[in-house]
Structure 1
C-alpha cells in the first residue's frame, strides 16, 4: 500500500506529532525530555525555522512549527535521528524508536493557529496528568505566561501573543484565559488509552512501563511505597480505560487512595 501524500501548508505552519514505537515511553525521564529539546534547538541552529509551541509527553511529542522555506521532512528526520541515536545508546538497544513517520496537519489561519497552541499545551490536562497547563513542566506554556523569565529565543511566543493583543501584558492575560477555555477541538493525536479495559491487560502494560522505568515490578512493592503507588495510579489513569475501582483492585489498595491522587 502506498503512503498517503502529506498535505502541505501554504503558510508553512504545521502541527506535528511523533509517537514512540509500540506505544513505548521513549521520553520517560527528565534527561530524555531535555535531550529531545536539545535536538530541536540543534536542528533549529542548522536550519532556520520557528517553534511556536511544544509539549513532550512520555510516549509522544507535539510541536507547532513554521518551516518557512525549509523542507519539513528534513527537519523532522534530523530531530528524530539524533534523538534515536541517543536513546538507543542510552538503553543499549537497536531498532526503531519512533513509530512510522511523523504525523502532520497544516495550519492555514490565525484562529486555527491559536487553537493548536491551546490544544498542545493542554495535552497533559487531557491525559489526566495535571489539572492546569501551568502545572506541567515539559511544555512551552511558561514561555507565554512569563516570557521575561521562561521565554527563550528559540520559542516564538511573541508572534502568537501579538495575534491576541499588541500590548504584551494584555496579550498574556487573555492568553491565560483563552488557554483554560474548555473547547472540544479536533487535532491529530494518539489513542492514549488504547482500549485497555481488563485487569490482565492493565497489569501487563503496568509491568512493561515499570520495567522501562527501571522500577520494582511487584505489586507488593508498589502497594507499600507511596511514591511508586502514585506513579502507577497516574500511569494507569492516563493510559488505560480502567475504572478507579479496577485500578484499586489491580494494585491491592482501597479505592479512596486512587480517588485522592491529584492528576
Structure 2
C-alpha cells in the first residue's frame, strides 16, 4: 500500500509520534534525551513552531506541535537527522534508528488540545517510568513538569496551554492538575493515538485530486482527528483556510492592519488599541488582535508581548479570550 501524503501547512495542530525501528530504544541514556531536547529548543524558534506538549519514552516519543511558516517535514527532518548522527557518534554505531518516517495526525485544536496534552503527558506513568502524578510533576523528560511550574522550558508554550484551563495562572495550574488526575484511569486511548474520524489527507493538492476522482474519505481516512464539521471543512475545500497565513501576508495584512480592523469594530482610534488600559472595549480589541496575530498571521507571543507591554502569559490569555470573542462576533479577519 502506498504511503499516504502528509498534510503540511501553517497553523496546523499536529500530534507527532516517532518510534524506534523494530521497537528498539531510541534513547539509551540521559545524554541522548538532553541532546534531543537541545536540538528541539533550537529548531522550534527557527521554524516558528509552537510546542504544546511532549513526552520522551524509551522507544518512542510524542510531540504536540502547531506549525509555523516552516513545514513540519522540514523541522522533523532536521531534528531526526541531526539526532541520529549524534546518537550514532555517541554510541559508535551505524545504521537506521527510527521506524520509517514520523507519524503525524492533524487534530482539531479547540476540541482535542486539552485531551491530547493530558494523554501525551500521562505516558511516562503508563510506561512505568514514574509511579504517580507527584513524581511526574518533576520528571524532566515530559512537558508536564513545565506546566506544573517545576521546569523551565522556554521553547514550550506553557502559558498558552494553561490558558485553556483558566484566566488566572494559579487557578489554571490547579485546574490542569485536577484534569490530569481525572485522566489517570483512562489508559491508552486508541481514538487519540491510532484512531479518529479522519487523518490528514496530505497537501491541499492531494485533497483536490481525491475529490476530482470522486473518492470520499469521510469517516475512513486515518490522518485527521476532529469532529464532522472539521472533517467536512477539509473535504469541502474550506480546509484551505489553514493556508490563509500565506494569503494574508501576500495581501498586506500585518499587526497594524489587523489592529485597525479591531479599532473599527470597537469604535476606537488605532493608537488606543496599543495603549495601556483596562477598559472593556480596549481589552476586547487587544484580545482580538492577539488572537488574529498569533492564530492567523503566525506572530510569536513574545513579539506581541513587547509590542503591547504585556507578559507572554498575558498574551496567551488574550489569545484565548480573543478566540471566544471571535466566535461571538462570528466574523473573519478578511470580512
TM range, normalised to the smaller chain? 0.5 to 0.7
* Stretches of structure 2 lacking an aligned partner (at least 5 in a row): 195-335
* Stretches of structure 1 lacking an aligned partner (at least 5 in a row): 190-263
Cα deviations by residue, 1:180-216 (Å, 9 ceiling, x for unpaired): 1133633226xxxxxxxxxxxxxxxxxxxxxxxxxxx
Counterparts of 1:76 and 1:70, CA distance in 2: 11
Counterparts of 1:129 and 1:44, CA distance in 2: 26
What SS does the corresponding residue of 1:139 show, helix, strand or coil?
A: coil
1:14-163 alignment, distance < 5 Å: 14-136=14-136, 137=139, 138-146=141-149, 149-163=150-164
Structure 1 73/10 Cα, relative in aligned 2: closer, same or farther at 3 Å?
A: closer
8 A Cα contact 1:110 1:163, kept in partner: no
Structure 1 8/133 Cα, relative in aligned 2: closer, same or farther at 3 Å?
A: farther
What SS does the corresponding residue of 1:164 show, helix, strand or coil?
A: coil
For this pair of structures, how many residues does the alignment match? 187
Structure 1 92/10 Cα, relative in aligned 2: closer, same or farther at 3 Å?
A: closer
Structure 1 23/48 Cα, relative in aligned 2: closer, same or farther at 3 Å?
A: same
**Bigger-Rg structure (1/2):** 2
Q: By how many angstroms is 1:163 displaced?
A: 1.4
Cα RMSD after superposing both structures: 1.8
Q: How high is the TM-score relative to the length of structure 1?
A: 0.66
> Which residue does 1:220 correspond to in 2?
none
Q: By how many angstroms is 1:158 displaced?
A: 0.6
Residue 192 of structure 2 is aligned to residue 187 of structure 1: yes
Spell out structure 1 runs of 4+ moving beyond 6 A. none
Q: How high is the TM-score relative to the length of structure 2?
A: 0.53
8 A Cα contact 1:11 1:108, kept in partner: no
Counterparts of 1:17 and 1:44, CA distance in 2: 16
What SS does the corresponding residue of 1:135 show, helix, strand or coil?
A: helix
